[in-house]
Amino acid sequence: MKKIWIGAAYYPEMWDESEIDKDIVRMKELGVNCVRVGEFAWGKMEPREGEFNFDWLKKAVDKCWDAGIATVMCTPTCTPPRWMLDKYEEMRGVDSHGVRAEVSSRCHPCKTSPLMREKNAVIVEELAKAFGAHPGVIGWQIDNEIFPYGEGCFCPLCRKAFRAYLKEKYGTIGNLNEKWGMVRWSLEYKDFDAVMPPRDGQWKHPSLCTEWFRFQCAQVISYVNEQAEIIRKYSSAPIGTDMMRTNLLSYYEMNERLDVVQYNHYEPADLLPGTAFAYDFLRCVKDKPFWVTETQVGWNGSNFADCGYRPQGACYVNTWLPVAKGAQMNAYWLFRTHPNGHEIAHGALLSTAGRPYRVADEVARAAKEFGRCKTFLTDSFVRSKIALHYSSSAMKTFAYAPLLKGFDYRESVYRKFYDAFRHYNVDVIDTAHSLDGYDVVISPFLATVDENGLKERIVEWVKAGGTWIVGPMSDIMTEYASKYTDAPYSFLEEFAGVYTKYQLPVGNDVFCAKGQEGDVFPLADCYDAYELRGARSLAVYDGDEFGGLSVVTEREIGKGKVILLGSVVPHAQLRALAGKLPIAEASNNVVLTERSGGQNGIIAIETENRHGSVVLGGKYRDLLSGSVMEGKVNLAPYGVLVLKEEE
């Protein structure tokens, strides 16, 4: 990584050329060295069918580059022009009730339509020809926040393609009926043509919903990959697509053939600690620096402001946190508030009148500090010995078969497991990720373990010396969103050396556990009670109902061990089970990241707008203040320390 990019989305199609010149001066004043352009401008790029005009965009890109500001060029396929969507109705998506999308905002296109794909290919190729060799274009963004919105498109083309997808996967309709359990309620399909996508308002079958969403995701991925292949003919700059916070659309599958992971989030100030979870995940998708392509600079909004005020300092920390965790870019939405339209009330660095909001000063401050810390940030990296599974497959399964009322898979993984390790380096990984280099792997709520070869790989990894902390609610579902019939798990009972005597998925806090030292601690969410079959007990249920039965067990296998959790345990117990030392002792409102490589050190960030502290085990120089620090060091609310280890 050679440079840190601080940027914002910019829409030159909205402004007079004289305003663009003024905005470039303002960008330089704020330390903005990168802009994203073009993502919604198809209508201006192709005002009439087959007539292309990029002169206006080239002027803007040239002006930026002459001023030392790079460009991420976006394909405009999220918003085909009105004339095109009016002329070719097939290109507009259809909702679950059969209604064609109105040409009223964005995200209209059907991802299956061959005509839509054809028109995409034309505009993307023309755009790539025009800008593929431009020295100021340092990367590409395909489409915008692409996702199967509203459960995807239900047009005849998509229904037909879905049935072909099912036939290829299942072979026969009898096999599908068996895997989905359609004999119940006499729901067996007679053939694949009888399979209808799940509509809103129905009591929907989890297996049908899961497969429908997988199909829609596959269409989205191929939609993006087609564009990437065209761009690569003309440009060697990295290509990505900006994705939202959910892993329902698999980050690993989407980015397999792309070059850089791009991420958009609009979490308010009180959720800042949770953004660290996302960054520790994004860094691992391709094991390289990622780009934050959108985040709110002050407030979110449409035709009214929303998502909360950011207290003074929150935007500064929101700029630092992704870079500390391994990002190469942090770009805000947007540079200058639109004068009209759907998002007229959205926050930005500058007002519509071109005057900086207060938060612009915080971005400028962080940009200057990145320059001061450039060598440390670009020469060091994040390496972790602890990994935490966060699975796209589990996201889909629990979305349609949550098992617990109100269960939110992402929030549960983050709050009940990841958040225990604010003072550790942790890699958040999906099941396809390699296990090499990790001492501890934690797999909570991992509905399906038997995917991507994980079951076989984790067994060998444990035997070689790894510690696997698995559960609760892991290894309980097939890839078809069905439960196992011969045991509660596919293999965990035998591997962990237990027999599951009782299961109680009540979703509330009614039980406690007693540890080996007699300490009593609360449990949460679900309760599996184990008899030992080769394992040893680390904690038993406290009380009469499950008295004597284990809730946490451990079994040594080869050089390693598997620790099975029958319930959610408190953070302190979870850290003890992991058996790793933190980067340093710190207050819980401080997020620590250890950096190593060409230079070694710690980045400490206070994320909750209150005083915090960190206790250093040696001498460090704070690259922001120049001070040498050791022992207990205080952090101001929303404070940042960039601590380089003194030699």
Segments making up each domain of the chain, as ranges: 386-578, 585-645
Q: pTM value?
A: 0.97
Tokens 């058996």 -> residue? 579
CATH H-level, domain 585-645: superfamily:
Golgi alpha-mannosidase II (2.60.40.1180)
CB proximity list for 151: less than 8 A, separation 6 or greater: 96, 197, 198, 200, 212, 213, 216
Residue 1: what pLDDT? Answer: 65
Q: Are 32 and 365 in contact (CB under 8 A)?
A: no
- Given a contact cutoff of 8 angstroms between Cβ atoms, the answer to whether 32 and 335 are in contact is yes
* Domain 386-578 in this protein, CATH class: alpha beta
What tokens appear for 153 in the block? 């498109």
Nearest CA-CA partner of 525 in 507, 502, 504, 546:
507
In sequence order, the β-bridge partners of residue 621 are 628, 644
**Residue 41: predicted pLDDT:** 97
CA distance 405 to 210: 18
HEC secondary structure over 88-154: CHHHECECCCCCECCCCCCCCECCCCHHHHHHHHHHHHHHHHHHCCCCCEEEEECCCCCCCHHHCCC
Residue 378 is which amino acid?
T
Predicted pLDDT of residue 450: 94
Mean pLDDT (10-residue bins), the chain, 647 residues: 92 96 97 98 97 98 98 98 96 93 89 97 98 98 95 96 98 98 96 94 88 97 98 98 95 98 93 93 98 92 83 96 98 96 92 95 97 96 98 96 94 97 98 98 97 97 98 96 94 98 84 93 96 98 89 98 98 98 98 95 97 97 97 98 94
DSSP annotation of 14 reads G
Contact between residue 300 and residue 634 where contact means Cβ atoms under 8 Å apart: no
Q: Please work out, in degrees rounded to the nearest 5, the angle formed at the alpha carbon of residue 395 by the alpha carbons of 209 and 331.
A: 120
Q: Is the omega angle on the peptide bond into residue 472 within 30 degrees of 0, that is, cis?
A: yes
